[in-house]
Chains A and B, each alone.
Chain A
Amino acid sequence: MATEKSGAEILIEALCDLGVDVVFGYPGGAVLPIYDALFKQKRIRHILVRQEGGAAHAAEGYARSTGKPGVVLVTSGPGATNAVTGIADALMDSIPMVIITGQVPTQLIGTDAFQEADTIGITRHCTKHNYLVKDPAKLGDVIHEAFHIATTGRPGPVLIDLPKNVQIATATYKKPGVGTVGRKAYRVQVKPEQAQIEEAIAMIAAAKRPILYTGGGVINAGPGASQILRELARITGAPVTSTLMGLGAFPASSPQWLGMLGMHGTYEANWAMNQADLVVALGARFDDRVTGRLDAFAPNSKKIHVDIDRSSINKVVRVDLGIVADVGRAMEDMVKLWKARAYPPATHTAWYEQIDGWRAKKSLAFPDSTREIMPQLAIRRLWEATNARKPIISTEVGQHQMWAAQHFDFEQPNKWLTSGGLGTMGYGLPAAIGAQVGNPNALVIDIAGEASILMNIQEMATATQYRLPVKVFILNNEYMGMVRQWQELTYSSRYSESYSDSLPDFVKLAESFGWKGIRIDTVSELDDGIADMLAHDGPVMVDCRVAKLANCFPMIPSGASHTDMILQSDQVSGEMDDEAKALV
C-alpha cells in the first residue's frame, strides 16, 4: 500500500508527472494548502501574477508559444471569476489550458460562504470541460484526464475546482498507466477517412482557381503541420491566405502568400477568396470576421473543410466536403496521395495573373507622412529591426492588432499571440509574460494600444519580479482607435466615450515599475527609439506617439461582401443604416 498524501501533494505530484514545470497563479484562502505544498518543492516554478486575469492570459501566451498546456492556479470566488475572461478567451481560440481553482470546503458549498462562487456553474460554458473534485482519491485521475482533454481534439481550457478540505484530506496517488487516461464518452477523430482524402485530392487537382484558407488549427496541430502545409501549397500550387489566428503557419515571404483575409485582410486575399472555384479550409472556422456577408462569401466555389471539431463543419458555411480530422494528419495524407497519384505540380498561371492584378492595388499602402508617425510605418520599422531575431509578438485588441497582423510578417508558427475570437483587450502584456517564461531567450514584444495596455497594466510588476525582458510597444493615438474608427464610419464621427483621457506618462510609469521607458514623438526618432528598446536587456515600455486619426484599412464593413472593401484611398465616413448597425 502506497503512503497516503494530501490532496495538495497529489496535485503537485500529478502535475510533475504530466511534465508541468511552470504554473501561473495568485494565492488566496482557499488554495493555501496547495501554496504550502508548492513551497515545499522545487520541481514546479510558480509565477506570481498581479491579478488572476493576468494568470489566465499568461498561461495562454505560454501555451501558444510553446505548444504545451498552460497551467493556472487561483483561489475561490474572486480568484476564479477574475480568471473567467482568460478562460473564455482560451476556449474561443482553442488554447490548451488547465485551471485549478480553490473552492470553499465541501460542507460549506452552497451556504454563501466567504469567497464562495459557483465556479463550476460560472465556467461550465467557457471551458471545454470542468470538474468539482470532492474526493482526494479521485484527484489524480481527474488531473490526468483534464490534461488529456485540454490537449487533445480541439484544445481548450479545462477547469478543476478543488475544495479546501479535499486539499487537506489524504489518499493514495498512482500515476495512471499509458492508455488508461480518458473516458469512453470522449472520442477524438484524429485520422481522416481515406475516401474523403481521395475526394479532396480529386477536387484540388480539378480546380482552376483553388485557394488554401488556413486557421489557428494548423498552429494547434503542431509545427509539423505548418511544414506539411508548405509542402501541400508547393505541390498543389494553390495560393494561401490565413485567418488572424493562423498567421505564421505559412511564410509571409512565399510568393504564394496572399496575406490575411477577412475584415482587415488584403485586397488580393479577399478577392481571391471571392473568385476561387475551390476553397480548402484547413483548421479555420469561417468566423464572421472572415466571411463578411454570408450569401456573398466565395459564391462560385466548392468548399472543403478540414476540422477536428465536427461542430465547426457546416456551422456557418455549408461545405461540399467536410473532413473531421487533425488538420496536420489530413494534409499529410493529402500530400502522400497527391504524390502517389503523380499529379504534376500545378502552376495556375492564369489564376496568379488575376491575383497579381489585385496585388497591384497595394491595399496595405498607407499615406506617407513626415509630420506624424503613421502607425503602419512604426510596425514596419519594428519588423525591419527585429525580424532577423524571429521575435514572438503578442498584441492587445484593436487597430494596433490589425496593423500588426497586416504589417508584421511571420515566417514561423507559434510566434504570433493574439486574442482572436473573444477579442480581449488586456491580453497582450500577460501573454507576452507567459511567452517569455516559456521562451527565456526569445525576443518577446507586445504591440499594444494605449487603451488596451491599461487593462492589465499591473502585470508590469510580474515582469519586473521575474526579470522578464518583455518589450511593450504602444501605438499611442489617444483613442480607443477601433471604436473611434467605427464611430467615424458608422455614426457620423460622434466619438462617444472613445477618447483616452487622463493617460499616464508611460515613461514615468515604466520607471516606477523598474522598467526602462522610451518615448518616440517623431518619425526621425523612430528607428533610434526601437534600437534603444532592443539594446536594453530588461523590460521596456515604448510610448510611440502615432497619428491620432489614422484608420485601419482595407476594411470590409460589417455585413458587406469581400468585394466591397474600403481602401485607404476611398475612405468614407458618415452614417450606416440600421441593418449594418445591428451587426457586430
Chain B
Amino acid sequence: MHIKPETIERHTLSVTVDNEAGVLARIAGLFTARGYNIESLTVADVTEDETISRITIVTSGTPEVIDQVVAQLDRLVPVHRVTDLTELGPHVERELALVKVAGTGEHRIEALRLAEVYRAHVIDATTSSFIFEVTGGSEKIDKFLELMREIGLVEVARTGVAAMARGKEAL
C-alpha cells in the first residue's frame, strides 16, 4: 500500500486574536493536531492598548485543506478574524533575515558586492565576518542565502513572513 500524492498550494493567512496567554499554543497546536503544515508563523501585538495580536501564517495544503485551516482557526474562541490574503488577491509579503557570512580576501569583497545587489545592510563586521540584514519576499531571501552559501554562510535567523493586503482598506 502506498500513500497518494496531492496538489499543494501555498497560502498566507492573517489572523487577529485576543492577546492572551496560550493563544499561540492554541493556534500552533491546531496545526499539529489536524495535520496541517506551518511554513512560517509570526506574531506580535498591533493595537495601542496591546489587546489584539496579529498572526501571519504561511501554510500549504490542498485547496480543501486550506478552507479547513481557515474555518478551524476561525472557530477558536480568541480568534477575531481570519483572512486568506492569497485568496483575497493582491497583497505584499516581507520578511527579514540576519545572515552571518565568514571569510577573508576575495570572499569578503564578493559578499559585499552581492549584498549591494540585494540591498542588504551590514549591521556587524569583524575582520573575518559580516552580519547582513536583508528584507524582502521569502524567495528573494532564499536566493540571497543560496548565493551566500557559496561564499561562506555560517548562520541565519529569519523572522518569518509579515503580510498585508494592498490598497487603502484595513482588514
Q: Does A128 count as interface, using CB distance less than 8 angstroms?
A: yes
The residue on A at minimum CB distance from B23 is A185
Q: Does B117 count as interface, using CB distance less than 8 angstroms?
A: no
Complex partner residue of A314 from B26, B67, B78, CB under 8 angstroms: B67
Report the count of interface residues on B (CB-CB < 8 A): 21
A149 to B71, CA, bound (A): 18
Q: Do B30 and A125 touch across chains, with their CB atoms under 8 A apart? A: yes
Contacts A120-B22, A124-B22, A125-B33: A310 and B71 contacting too (C-beta < 8 A)?
yes
Q: Does B21 count as interface, using CB distance less than 8 angstroms?
A: yes
How far in angstroms is the closest Cβ of chain A from B37?
Answer: 17
Q: Do B75 and A311 touch across chains, with their CB atoms under 8 A apart? A: yes
Q: Does A389 count as interface, using CB distance less than 8 angstroms?
A: no
Contacts A311-B68, A314-B67: A186 and B29 contacting too (C-beta < 8 A)?
no
Name B's interface SS: helix
Q: Do A124 and B29 touch across chains, with their CB atoms under 8 A apart? A: yes
The residue on A at minimum CB distance from B1 is A578
Residue interface mask A313-354, B partner, CB < 8 A = 1: 111001000000000000000000000000000000000000
Q: Do A185 and B77 touch across chains, with their CB atoms under 8 A apart? A: yes
Q: Does B159 count as interface, using CB distance less than 8 angstroms?
A: no
Q: Does A184 count as interface, using CB distance less than 8 angstroms?
A: yes
A186 to B26, CA, bound (A): 15
Report the count of interface residues on A (CB-CB < 8 A): 22
A318 to B63, CA, bound (A): 12
Q: Does B153 count as interface, using CB distance less than 8 angstroms?
A: no
Q: Does A121 count as interface, using CB distance less than 8 angstroms?
A: yes
How far in angstroms is the closest Cβ of chain B from A312?
Answer: 8
Complex partner residue of A311 from B21, B22, B29, B74, CB under 8 angstroms: B74
A313 to B74, CA, bound (A): 13
Q: Does B128 count as interface, using CB distance less than 8 angstroms?
A: no
Q: Which residues of A contact B71 (CB under 8 A)?
A: 310-311, 313, 315
Q: Does A309 count as interface, using CB distance less than 8 angstroms?
A: yes
Q: Which residues of B contact A124 (CB under 8 A)?
A: 22, 25-26, 29
Q: Does B164 count as interface, using CB distance less than 8 angstroms?
A: no
Q: Do A184 and B80 touch across chains, with their CB atoms under 8 A apart? A: yes
Q: Do B1 and A314 touch across chains, with their CB atoms under 8 A apart? A: no
The residue on B at minimum CB distance from A579 is B1
Q: Which residues of B contact A185 (CB under 8 A)?
A: 17-18, 77-80
Q: Does B150 count as interface, using CB distance less than 8 angstroms?
A: no
A523 to B33, CA, bound (A): 49
A183 to B18, CA, bound (A): 10
Residue interface mask B54-86, A partner, CB < 8 A = 1: 000000000010011001101101111000000
Interface centre among B25, B71, B74 (most CB of A within 10 A): B71
How far in angstroms is the closest Cβ of chain A from B71?
Answer: 4
Residue interface mask A463-485, B partner, CB < 8 A = 1: 00000000000000000000000
Q: Does A38 count as interface, using CB distance less than 8 angstroms?
A: no
Contacts A124-B25, A124-B26, A124-B29: A314 and B64 contacting too (C-beta < 8 A)?
yes
Q: Do B74 and A582 touch across chains, with their CB atoms under 8 A apart? A: no
The residue on B at minimum CB distance from A310 is B71
Contacts A124-B22, A124-B26: A582 and B68 contacting too (C-beta < 8 A)?
no
26 contacts between A and B (CB under 8 A): A120-B22, A121-B25, A124-B22, A124-B26, A124-B29, A125-B29, A125-B33, A129-B77, A184-B80, A185-B17, A185-B18, A185-B79, A185-B80, A309-B75, A310-B75, A311-B71, A311-B72, A311-B74, A311-B75, A313-B71, A314-B64, A314-B67, A315-B68, A318-B64, A579-B1, A582-B1
Q: Give 7 nearest A-B pairs by CB, closest first.
A: A311-B71, A129-B77, A578-B1, A185-B80, A125-B33, A311-B72, A186-B77
**Extra contacts besides A125-B29, A183-B78, A318-B64 (16): CB < 8 Å:** A120-B22, A121-B25, A124-B25, A124-B26, A125-B33, A128-B77, A129-B77, A132-B22, A183-B77, A184-B80, A185-B79, A311-B74, A311-B75, A578-B1, A579-B1, A582-B1
Binding site for B on A (CB under 8 A): 120-121, 124-125, 128-129, 132, 149, 183-186, 309-311, 313-315, 318, 578-579, 582
Binding site for A on B (CB under 8 A): 1, 17-18, 21-22, 25-26, 29-30, 33, 64, 67-68, 71-72, 74-75, 77-80
